[in-house]
Structure 1
Amino acid sequence: MRNTDFDFLAGHWTSRQRRLVKVLSGVDEWYEFDATLDCQVLLDGSGVFDVLRAPERDIEGITLRLFNPEERVWRIWWAAKTSGGQLDVPVVGRFTDGVGVFECDDTWEGRPIRVRYTWSGADTGQPRWEQAFSPDGGRTWEVNWVATFRRD
């Protein structure tokens, strides 16, 4: 059976990105920039690959998403040109009622954190992605990166 969870993301997008200047510092100072996203849905919907580019911030990264039909979960890996050829620890999760939530344990600047990606608005034509970190095992979260996409 074909997986359609990320079909909304196929194609070329422009986006407005917002990131915290200093993550997990308690300071609410953001910077903004534009980016493009080129996304392919592959493997009958069970594989999704995209490239994010934000030249003004010297950001280029790839995302690989793979769906496991037995577990009914996605694993999502990110790698940036600054990551030394390494994929990040994958976030794992699923879509429920049109919202995708994906989490994992990782580290940030040497300290253990919980990472969460959330996809929403897939049916609006302007999907939104956000990344949040939790330094306390998921009790509290700090959103540190938000992207709103629109068709180019």
Structure 2
Amino acid sequence: MSPYFKANMNVEALQTKYPIIDWEIYTEGARKYWKIIRVGNHTEVYQFFDDMLKAFDREDLVKPLSIIKEKFTSTEPTKDKEREIWVELKRLFEQDTDDELWKLQKHIHDITWRLGVLTQLLVAKLLVEQDCEMLRELLKKIFMQVERPRR
């Protein structure tokens, strides 16, 4: 076995991903966290949803959404951290036209699209003006060459 292949095997073994199997609210003093529990009792805690998003990929988010949906089909989230994770995960996966975040996102998308089109138009105009200026300079040089007395 080549050393390169052996090194790749070791790296892959270290990058083993443990699937999420459960979650709970974890309290430490006055702070509350989401405790994410993975297979083999590997746990991670997050105080902010943004931090969780940075550490998770899509597969990581799908499983908590299904676990949370299952839990809250029969009961309502009562704790702030429960409501927060429920709302944030739903926002990521389920479009709701009444949700302020979705409205804002659509508005930002529209503005971004318009700015993109305007930028392209402006660039095209500047390129045309630049090409016209270069053409004028080239024509000026040609006329100067033509008008110059020959020896």
TM-score (norm 1): 0.23
Higher relative contact order (CA 8 A, sep 6+): 1
Which structure's residues are more often strand, by fraction?
1
